[in-house]
Amino acid sequence: MKKKGIKIIIALILFCIALIVKFNNEWINNIIYIISYIIVGFEIVKKAVRNIFRGKVFDENFLMTVATIGAFCIGEFPEAVAVMLFYQIGELFQDYAVDKSRKSISNLMDIRPDYANIERDGKIQKVDPEDVKIGEIIIVKPGEKIPLDGCVIEGKSSLDTKALTGESLPREISEGEEVLSGCINLNGLIKVEVTKEFGESTVSKILDLVENASSKKSKSEHFITKFAAYYTPIVVIIAVILAIVPPLVIENAVFSDWLYRALSFLVVSCPCALVISIPLSFFGGIGGASKMGVLIKGSNYLEALANTEIVVFDKTGTLTEGVFEVQKVKAIDISVEELLKLTAYAENYSNHPISLSVKKAYNKEIDEKQIVKTQELSGRGIVATIGKKEILVGNEKLMKEKQINFEKCDDIGTILYVAIDKKYAGYILISDRIKEDSVKAISNLKKNNVKQTVMLTGDRKDVGERVAKQLGIDKVYTELLPDGKVEKVEELLKKKSEKGKLAFVGDGINDAPVLAISDIGIAMGGLGSDAAIEAADVVLMTDEPSKIVNAIQLSKKTMRIVKENIIFAILVKVIVLILSALGISTMWEAVFADVGVSILAIINALRVLRVKKIN
Amino acid sequence: MKSRYKIKGLDCANCAAELERSIQKLDGIENVSISFITQKLELEYDETRKEEIIKSVKKIIKKEEPDVIIEEV
């Protein structure tokens, strides 16, 4: 790039000399022009000659060569040099801009650890993270990046997760806790037992995902490459016609005039401004989003987000904390402690948040030998044999199905009815908190032209409706089984307008089928959850639903820039083409329409990188 | 099957787009995506004919863009 720059400067100086100084013999000026041309354009001409032999006539090197040599032939020396000179300046600038945006995007993603400290043969060594095996112990000093996912076995510290989540609050960690690669260790020295190889670690997965996102191209990109495929040949063909037909048909037409116009066409025929600026905008948008803690897995999804019309939320863990707490235990003919114990035993093997909260409330060791059998009944509850007792734990449906004579409870929350040996024994009331962030998210979605917000939940009608009302959600469907959610989303998909998109937001663990059928599947709390990263199109690294609003805003900004560039570039080119055909504009305007537009479009595309956190 | 390559030395975005179109036309290629910005080539193809397909892809790159280097990731 430096060499190219020097060549351009020398050529530019020679060009200015020839343009300003009037030598006695005009040929001296012309020779200086030619020298300047050779310095700056030799590479292009060389490539062009090579391309002819390969049958690539619509190549930009070839077009530029024909246009400039043509200009020499009709005696337009300054123009010939200027076209080549400015073309090269434009190319140089373009290289620079692309290089710079590549770098600034990889800086955004500057989470790749360079080394891992490992204790081998009693000495601490720095090794490549790729060489560390599962089970080895790594040491992470304050200020270092955690190189691999693992579990803390010694030490305490706080971690900066900003690069992964966009979250500025440090996270406290201590012995026994999981840590993720890519976080920065802020203060304490910690020893970590590695649980995943580098290639499987969070940091690799995220980098991989962002880097490969540009492979999934958007409609705008497909449009523009298709456009380019037709644009260049059409302009070149018109140029040929322009050079040949008018001089034959029109009386007194001067061939060199029309040839000049045709050559201007060739200068404008390169579609590069569009072809580079559109993917660059998307790439920037994806990079900017990842800085906010939103991973977008393809340009197509970034594009789709701008047209979000319906946002469907899963309730638990998405809009609510998903942290359930036992609020009340009512026991009939049995002690509260005993009821809680039997329920905890029955729920022992389930990882559902409800079960976890029961186990947490019980807070004693569970003797698994006493658990004879447990069976989960989807959407209803659990049937278990604990010791010699048969325990039923579940919702109203389960009680009715098993014909248990139970007392209906009207408290708000999730109610687990318990029956022991077919006899009603009481209930446990569990409830969940709404995230503070959710209210903000819903109201901001409305402000960003999302027409409808919907909440789906397996929870009871009164609980669901109360949550929806508090949040200001438009529609709520309750008491849904997993396949019921799929059905509802399918219904909603039919209702939306043709261009509008439906986004589903869930925790990515139990809702893979729904994520898959939605236009945009968004999984939340992706940090550390492989399942979520795998299943979704967009991953929110933190568990704040308001990040969706940020993503939609960024998407809209990206699309606005893309549209500006498409319209601006095509408009300028078409106008200059018309003016050239009429003989009003010169080759100078043609150079602007090619190189100038390219540069402006790139500068415009880079605007997308400037993301502010939008609240 | 999917394979990814690093593709270096492409001149311009339009060259990338043209190359993409030529590769797409090859027999056995299900999908191809070249990103000029990230310098990546992603191929989806019939796995049973892997060697033959990769060879023809390399050949077409050599023909259209002789300065380009491709590396396996």
Residue A275 with chain B: CB contacts under 8 Å = 12-14, 16-17, 36
Q: Between B20, B36, B42, which is nearest A276 by CB?
A: B36
Catalytic hit among A59, A149, A160, A314: A314
DSSP per-residue codes, A338-393: HHHHHHHHHTTT--SHHHHHHHHHH-S---GGGEEEEEEETTTEEEEEETTEEEEE
User: Is the CATH number of domain B2-72 3.40.640.10?
Assistant: no
Closest-CA distance of chain B to residue A226, Å: 9
Tell me the angle at which helices A60-73 and A77-108 cross, rounded to the nearest 10 degrees.
160
Q: Per-residue pLDDT tens for A389-418?
A: 899 999 888 899 888 888 888 777 788 899
Partner A contacted by B21 (CB < 8 A): yes
How many other CB atoms are there within 10 angstroms of residue A250's CB atom? Answer: 10
Q: Per-residue pLDDT tens for B56-73?
A: 999 999 888 888 888 887
Q: Per-residue pLDDT tens for A127-178?
A: 988 888 899 999 999 988 899 999 999 999 998 888 777 777 788 888 988 8
pLDDT at B10: 84
| A294-320+434-556 matches A325-431 in fold | no
Q: Between A61, A211, A276, which is nearest B38 by CB?
A: A211
pLDDT at A614: 45
What is the residue type of A481? Answer: L
ipTM: 0.84
Architecture of the A294-320+434-556 domain: 3-Layer(aba) Sandwich (3.40)
How many other CB atoms are there within 10 angstroms of residue A449's CB atom? Answer: 13
Q: Are A281 and A220 in contact (CB under 8 A)?
A: no
What is the residue type of A393? Answer: V
Tokens standing for A320? 């609510």
What is the residue type of A11? Answer: A
Domain covering A325-431 in this structure, CATH number: 3.40.1110.10
Q: Are A456 and A480 in contact (CB under 8 A)?
A: yes
What is the distance between the alpha carbons of residues B22 and A604, in angstroms, rounded to a whole number? 30
Cβ within 8 Å, pair B42-A102: no
User: Catalytic site residue A314?
Assistant: yes
Residue B17 with chain A: CB contacts under 8 Å = 225, 228-229, 275
Length of chain B: 73
Residue A225 with chain B: CB contacts under 8 Å = 17, 20-21
Partner A contacted by B28 (CB < 8 A): no
What is the distance between the alpha carbons of residues A452 and A330, in angstroms, rounded to a whole number? 39
Q: Name the DSSP class of A508.
A: S
Cβ within 8 Å, pair B66-A50: yes
Partner A contacted by B69 (CB < 8 A): no
Q: Which residue out of B11, B35, B62 would a mutagenesis test of the A interface target, given it has the greatest number of A Cβ atoms within 10 Å?
A: B35
Which is it for strands A308-314 and A501-506: parallel, antiparallel or unpaired? parallel
| C-alpha dihedral sign at A575, A580, A584, A587 | positive
With a cut of 70, say whether residue A612 has pLDDT above it.
no
A–B CB contacts, 8 A cutoff, strictly below: 65
DSSP per-residue codes, B15-62: HHHHHHHHHHTSTTEEEEEEETTTTEEEEEE-GGGHHHHHHHHHHHHH
Position of tokens 């022009």? Answer: A33
Q: Which residue out of A215, A216, A594 would a mutagenesis test of the B interface target, given it has the greatest number of B Cβ atoms within 10 Å?
A: A215
H-type alpha helices, A113-254: 162-165, 202-212, 219-249
With a cut of 80, say whether residue B11 has pLDDT above it.
no
What is the distance between the alpha carbons of residues A270 and A287, in angstroms, rounded to a whole number? 28
Partner A contacted by B8 (CB < 8 A): no
Q: Domain extents for chain A?
A: 116-211, 294-320+434-556, 325-431
Cβ within 8 Å, pair B40-A275: no
Question: Exposed, middle or buried, A376 (CB in 10 Å: 0-12/13-18/19+)?
Answer: middle
pLDDT at A393: 92
What number is the average pLDDT over the span A548-560?
A: 94
Tokens standing for A476? 């709520």
pLDDT band at A93 (very low <50, low <70, confident <90, very high): confident
pLDDT at A526: 66
What is the distance between the alpha carbons of residues A433 and A455, in angstroms, rounded to a whole number? 16
Full-model pTM: 0.78
pLDDT band at A369 (very low <50, low <70, confident <90, very high): confident
pLDDT band at A528 (very low <50, low <70, confident <90, very high): low
User: Is the CATH number of domain A116-211 3.40.50.20?
Assistant: no
pLDDT at A527: 67
DSSP per-residue codes, A295-327: EE--HHHHHHHTTEEEEEEEIIIIIB----EEE
The dihedrals phi and psi of A138, each to the nearest 5 degrees, come to -110, 155
Partner A contacted by B66 (CB < 8 A): yes
